[in-house]
A and B are shown apart, each in its own frame.
Chain A
Amino acid sequence: MFNTLISSNIFFLSLLLWIAGAVGALVLSKNDRLANWWGNSFAILGSCVGLLFSLSVLIIGSTFSFNIDSTLPLLSLSFSVDKLSAFFIFLISLIALLASIYALGYVKHYYKKYNIGALGFFYNIFLAGMVMVVSAHNALFFLIVWEIMSLASYFLVIYENKEKENVQAGSLYFIMTHVGTAFITLAFLLLYRSTGSLDFGVIKETIGNSSPLIADTVFILALIGFGTKAGIIPFHIWLPNAHPAAPSHVSALMSGVMIKTGIYMFIRMFMDMLPDAPLWWGVVILILGAISSLFGVLYALTEHDIKRLLAYHSIENIGIILLGLGSSLVFWSLDMKPLAVLSLVAALFHTLNHAIFKALLFLGAGSVISQTHTRNMEEYGGLIKYMPQTALFFLAGSMAISALPPLNGFFSEWMTFQSLFSGIMASNVPVRWVFILAAGSLAFTGGLAAMCFVKAFGVTFLARPRSENVRHARESGFALRVGMAVLAALTLVIGFTAGSITNAVSGVVSDLSAFNSSEPAFFSTIQTVGMRNGFASISMPLILASLIVTMALTFFAVYLVSRNRKTKIGRTWDCGTTLGPRMEITATGFSNSIVTIFRGALKPTKQTSIEYRDEDMRYFQKSSTVELGIQDIYNRYFYQPVHMLTIKASEYMKRIQSGNINMYVLYILAILIALLFASGM
């Protein structure tokens, strides 16, 4: 009781600190430096308190509920924090803490260009909004805080509003997020119609009496609504535009954490609130996960905008998380709860890992952009000489996202593989094929992700500078490096301590009522994690130790062999021409083979334009340009037809909009009479 009281007070203190940060930053907006310090210092304080709170819930188990009835019917300011909510609050607070430390230095390059107070205001409101989203316990209140989070993030996306493309990206995000909210609202209204309440607890208790059709409809609506926020294909089109448009520390939060609020609501609704899930729910999520992961990484490979590349990788990783979540739903419906626990632990573990390495990569990209003033990777090259520490941190993030051992990404993907292999072994024939395809997709995704980050790191940091901006680049400031260094260290620490963290995540899963008494299909100790049936096991400390020993032996062997050799330094042979950046492989060239292989899905385009010295003779070329691109098939075959249809319908509706007041009043009277007729019949 005492713990709960303290815990709830800490929770509200963190919200209060963020609100104070928001208001203060706005008040101090005339002084850029003060506004930056105030806004980000309070964000750091709020995040620290949020971390403390979430850890107290996760370790001590001091869950709490808080409710204030409002004067409006059906609305109550209702919070409830169980271990699942606390896990996501931990995630938000952790990334917010490091992003805010980074922002203290990063925001300086906006001084005298943009309103720093407004940035601090929306940033803190965004943080508070996310925490309230994962702790709201009333549907109407949830929609309000969901809207607060969405609007704050919208204003952050269009923060650099002098860039036209940012404003366009913001508009697309605004539309898509509200389309999603419309579906979520419909889902909640349907739940209200069936249960007579908007309280999550009451819905959970009474929804079991409703027909399966209601649950299925709610599933579809919620899948579209929350899936749009999570960025799953085909509802992803806003994500590659919006995430790069925001300031980099905000991109880190949006990509690392905000899209996970969609995953949180998937788990909350499908595995906690709604009754036993039918098999097809899990199969649908598995298929969507496989598509999202594969296409996400394919689109990422074709990108040469560093932030868009990272944004596409968010789609890929959301796909991987969905593979775990979908497997869990399938196992749950087949009454294989130990395997369901394994899959859900894999999904949550990857949620944690993705938040860390994606935040790290976005912060690294932000540092590079702040020095080179471009997002185009073709203009980078050789940055390792100018920004060695940033390069090291980016390399750690690249290795983690490529699932290379001993970093954290490797372990969660290994767990996801275990759940998919278990599905292949345990399920019946049609579902087995879904698991086989999902496992294949994950294996393929892993390989392509590694390839993509060889490209991203190589083109950005290795070889020679491709533009003058690179030659003027300097190492990131102290605050920026602290934020990145801690995240880079976390990728290693979480990988090394995966066994202990698996236990903690397992505690979060077993806190859900569906898995209260379920023994997981795996065991985990500090040294080893393995399947109880003996199918596979892994020891992350052993892998780390092996790598260290191997590297040490290699260095020692090389030293022994080469100690008596003299080092000769000479020019690289280059056929007599001058070495230059044009000899380096470009990002576009690197991915060309993949684009050719997947041309059926990626639909590459090539546009050649030639300018002649004499337009009439056309013998001598002055210049020629080749533009390579790819088409987003979802855009072409789904969104563009929908857009055309909307335009046509709007043109038709425009005829009704005569601009004549008398006509408008006539419409009112006609509708009134029509309704009276309808009610009379």
Chain B
Amino acid sequence: MIPITPQILFFLETMLFASVVFMHIAKKNSGVIFLYAAQSLIIAIALFYSSLKEASLLLVVAAVATFLVKVIIVPYFFSGLIKKHRLQFSVSTYLNTPMTLIVLALLTAFSYSHFFGPLTILAPDKENALSLAIAMVLISIFLIINRKGALSQMVGILSLENAIVSFAYVAGLETTAGLQVGILFDIFIWVVIASVFASMIYRHFGSLNVSVLKHLKEE
């Protein structure tokens, strides 16, 4: 088998990182979901490779389950939501694109700073890939902050989960197959519940713009 060198890992991490950056720029909801599916596919491939390397059937099951849940089922659910409520275009963001890109640059620079030094010690030869994974975590959180649409926020949360998985993978903090399947089950249930909530928000307010939820607050 071809060994995964730090360069290959960095390349995969760059692709994941790029997917989150493009999520920030994408205007169409279908584009955001496609980027999430692509991001998840990279994660599933990495896990599948790891399972073959370990020659573990359970890990293969976990990788296949990751593929099924994250690449097929979740995008399918979200696509259904878009079709049902005709949500082709994402609702607005708080910052415009140039400002968003500046914040992304700052967050990426921050993730390369000495504050994350103790974390990069986990795998000194993959320092760049780890820093990029941390940047992906921060940028995913920022996606939740910056977007007003519930769908984008849900994708932001799932992207954050992918970022954490990728960090753990690069740092060599791989979990057991049972735990991975458990997490996937949690994600699946969460997506179902979040979709129901999104539908309820749409029915009540006629929009998936979460800023309208502030009207629920006691004045």
**Could you list 20 A-B pairs, sorted by A, with CB under 8 Å?**
A657-B217, A659-B213, A659-B214, A660-B210, A660-B214, A661-B144, A661-B213, A662-B144, A662-B145, A662-B146, A662-B210, A662-B211, A665-B141, A665-B144, A668-B141, A669-B141, A673-B110, A676-B116, A679-B115, A680-B114
CB distance from A651 to the nearest CB of B (A): 13
A572 within 8 A of B: no
Chain A residues lying within 8 Å of B148, measured Cβ to Cβ, are 662
CB distance from A468 to the nearest CB of B (A): 47
Interface range for B: 20 to 34
For the complex of A and B, the 7 pairs showing the least CB-CB separation, nearest first, are: A659-B214, A659-B217, A680-B115, A676-B115, A665-B144, A666-B145, A665-B145
How far is B216's CA from A658's CA once the two chains are assembled, in angstroms? 11
How far is B180's CA from A576's CA once the two chains are assembled, in angstroms? 96
Question: What mask results when residues 1 to 23 of chain B are scored 1 for a CB within 8 Å of chain A, else 0?
Answer: 00000000000000000000000
B142 within 8 A of A: yes
How far is B73's CA from A80's CA once the two chains are assembled, in angstroms? 56
B interface with A by C-beta (< 8 Å): 94, 110, 114-116, 138, 141-142, 144-148, 153, 210-211, 213-217
A interface with B by C-beta (< 8 Å): 657-662, 665-666, 668-669, 672-673, 676-677, 679-680
> Which residue of chain A lies nearest to B116 when distances are taken between CB atoms in the complex?
A676
How far is B94's CA from A680's CA once the two chains are assembled, in angstroms? 30
> Which residue of chain A lies nearest to B219 when distances are taken between CB atoms in the complex?
A659
How far is B214's CA from A659's CA once the two chains are assembled, in angstroms? 4
How far is B216's CA from A660's CA once the two chains are assembled, in angstroms? 10
* A658 touching B214, Cβ below 8 Å: yes
Given contact pairs A662-B146, A676-B115, A680-B114, A669 touches B138 in the complex (Cβ within 8 A):
yes
* A660 touching B211, Cβ below 8 Å: yes
Chain B residues lying within 8 Å of A659, measured Cβ to Cβ, are 213-217
Q: Tell me whether chain A's interface is mostly helix, strand or loop, or mixed.
A: helix
How far is B106's CA from A628's CA once the two chains are assembled, in angstroms? 69
How far is B110's CA from A154's CA once the two chains are assembled, in angstroms? 51
Chain A residues lying within 8 Å of B94, measured Cβ to Cβ, are 662
CB distance from A629 to the nearest CB of B (A): 34
> Which residue of chain B lies nearest to A669 when distances are taken between CB atoms in the complex?
B141
How far is B145's CA from A669's CA once the two chains are assembled, in angstroms? 9
* B153 touching A661, Cβ below 8 Å: yes
Chain A residues lying within 8 Å of B141, measured Cβ to Cβ, are 665, 668-669, 672
Question: Given contacts A662-B146, A680-B114, could you give 13 more A-B pairs where the C-beta distance is less than 8 Å?
Answer: A658-B217, A659-B215, A659-B217, A660-B211, A662-B144, A662-B148, A662-B153, A662-B210, A665-B144, A665-B145, A669-B145, A677-B115, A679-B115
> Which residue of chain B lies nearest to A680 when distances are taken between CB atoms in the complex?
B115
* A661 touching B210, Cβ below 8 Å: yes
How far is B143's CA from A666's CA once the two chains are assembled, in angstroms? 10
> Which residue of chain B lies nearest to A661 when distances are taken between CB atoms in the complex?
B210
Q: For B213, give its contact among A660, A665, A672 (CB under 8 Å).
A: A660
Chain A residues lying within 8 Å of B116, measured Cβ to Cβ, are 676
Chain B residues lying within 8 Å of A669, measured Cβ to Cβ, are 138, 141-142, 145
CB distance from B167 to the nearest CB of A (A): 15
> Which residue of chain B lies nearest to A668 when distances are taken between CB atoms in the complex?
B141
CB distance from B109 to the nearest CB of A (A): 12
How far is B211's CA from A662's CA once the two chains are assembled, in angstroms? 8
How far is B118's CA from A679's CA once the two chains are assembled, in angstroms? 11
> Which residue of chain A lies nearest to B156 when distances are taken between CB atoms in the complex?
A665
How far is B144's CA from A662's CA once the two chains are assembled, in angstroms? 7
> Which residue of chain B lies nearest to A660 when distances are taken between CB atoms in the complex?
B214
How far is B141's CA from A665's CA once the two chains are assembled, in angstroms? 7
How far is B148's CA from A680's CA once the two chains are assembled, in angstroms? 33
Chain A residues lying within 8 Å of B213, measured Cβ to Cβ, are 659-661
Chain B residues lying within 8 Å of A668, measured Cβ to Cβ, are 141
Chain B residues lying within 8 Å of A665, measured Cβ to Cβ, are 141, 144-145
Chain A residues lying within 8 Å of B146, measured Cβ to Cβ, are 662
How far is B141's CA from A668's CA once the two chains are assembled, in angstroms? 9
How far is B157's CA from A668's CA once the two chains are assembled, in angstroms? 13
How far is B148's CA from A662's CA once the two chains are assembled, in angstroms? 7
CB distance from A669 to the nearest CB of B (A): 5
Chain B residues lying within 8 Å of A676, measured Cβ to Cβ, are 115-116
Q: Name the residue in A658, A661, A673, A677 with the highest tally of chain B Cβ atoms < 10 Å from its Cβ.
A: A661
How far is B210's CA from A666's CA once the two chains are assembled, in angstroms? 14
> Which residue of chain A lies nearest to B211 when distances are taken between CB atoms in the complex?
A660
> Which residue of chain A lies nearest to B138 when distances are taken between CB atoms in the complex?
A669
Chain A residues lying within 8 Å of B142, measured Cβ to Cβ, are 669
> Which residue of chain A lies nearest to B148 when distances are taken between CB atoms in the complex?
A662
> Which residue of chain A lies nearest to B141 when distances are taken between CB atoms in the complex?
A669
How far is B116's CA from A321's CA once the two chains are assembled, in angstroms? 58
CB distance from B101 to the nearest CB of A (A): 17
Chain B residues lying within 8 Å of A677, measured Cβ to Cβ, are 115
CB distance from A119 to the nearest CB of B (A): 35
How far is B106's CA from A669's CA once the two chains are assembled, in angstroms? 14
CB distance from A680 to the nearest CB of B (A): 4
How far is B115's CA from A668's CA once the two chains are assembled, in angstroms? 17
Chain A residues lying within 8 Å of B214, measured Cβ to Cβ, are 658-660
How far is B115's CA from A677's CA once the two chains are assembled, in angstroms? 7
> Which residue of chain B lies nearest to A658 when distances are taken between CB atoms in the complex?
B214
Q: Name the residue in B94, B115, B146, B147 with the highest tally of chain A Cβ atoms < 10 Å from its Cβ.
A: B115
> Which residue of chain B lies nearest to A675 when distances are taken between CB atoms in the complex?
B115
How far is B123's CA from A612's CA once the two chains are assembled, in angstroms? 90
How far is B146's CA from A666's CA once the two chains are assembled, in angstroms? 9
Chain A residues lying within 8 Å of B144, measured Cβ to Cβ, are 661-662, 665
Chain A residues lying within 8 Å of B138, measured Cβ to Cβ, are 669
CB distance from A675 to the nearest CB of B (A): 10
CB distance from A167 to the nearest CB of B (A): 21
How far is B94's CA from A662's CA once the two chains are assembled, in angstroms? 9
Chain A residues lying within 8 Å of B217, measured Cβ to Cβ, are 657-659
How far is B145's CA from A668's CA once the two chains are assembled, in angstroms? 10
How far is B33's CA from A578's CA once the two chains are assembled, in angstroms? 93
CB distance from B113 to the nearest CB of A (A): 8
How far is B147's CA from A666's CA once the two chains are assembled, in angstroms? 12
CB distance from B137 to the nearest CB of A (A): 10
Chain B residues lying within 8 Å of A662, measured Cβ to Cβ, are 94, 144-148, 153, 210-211
Chain A residues lying within 8 Å of B115, measured Cβ to Cβ, are 676-677, 679-680
CB distance from A453 to the nearest CB of B (A): 49
How far is B142's CA from A618's CA once the two chains are assembled, in angstroms? 72
CB distance from A654 to the nearest CB of B (A): 9
> Which residue of chain A lies nearest to B143 when distances are taken between CB atoms in the complex?
A665
CB distance from B156 to the nearest CB of A (A): 9
Q: Name the residue in A657, A669, A672 with the highest tally of chain B Cβ atoms < 10 Å from its Cβ.
A: A669
Chain A residues lying within 8 Å of B153, measured Cβ to Cβ, are 661-662
How far is B110's CA from A346's CA once the two chains are assembled, in angstroms? 68
How far is B150's CA from A662's CA once the two chains are assembled, in angstroms? 10
Chain B residues lying within 8 Å of A679, measured Cβ to Cβ, are 115
> Which residue of chain A lies nearest to B215 when distances are taken between CB atoms in the complex?
A659
Q: Name the residue in B142, B145, B216 with the highest tally of chain A Cβ atoms < 10 Å from its Cβ.
A: B145
How far is B215's CA from A665's CA once the two chains are assembled, in angstroms? 18
CB distance from B151 to the nearest CB of A (A): 13
Chain B residues lying within 8 Å of A680, measured Cβ to Cβ, are 114-115
CB distance from B210 to the nearest CB of A (A): 5
How far is B82's CA from A225's CA once the two chains are assembled, in angstroms? 56
How far is B16's CA from A442's CA once the two chains are assembled, in angstroms? 78
How far is B138's CA from A668's CA once the two chains are assembled, in angstroms? 11
Chain B residues lying within 8 Å of A657, measured Cβ to Cβ, are 217
How far is B110's CA from A669's CA once the two chains are assembled, in angstroms? 13
Chain B residues lying within 8 Å of A666, measured Cβ to Cβ, are 145
How far is B142's CA from A298's CA once the two chains are assembled, in angstroms? 62
How far is B145's CA from A680's CA once the two chains are assembled, in angstroms? 25
> Which residue of chain A lies nearest to B214 when distances are taken between CB atoms in the complex?
A659
How far is B211's CA from A661's CA once the two chains are assembled, in angstroms? 7
CB distance from A388 to the nearest CB of B (A): 57
Chain B residues lying within 8 Å of A661, measured Cβ to Cβ, are 144, 153, 210, 213
CB distance from B147 to the nearest CB of A (A): 8
How far is B161's CA from A548's CA once the two chains are assembled, in angstroms? 86
How far is B216's CA from A657's CA once the two chains are assembled, in angstroms? 12
CB distance from B116 to the nearest CB of A (A): 8
How far is B129's CA from A490's CA once the two chains are assembled, in angstroms? 80
How far is B110's CA from A661's CA once the two chains are assembled, in angstroms? 24
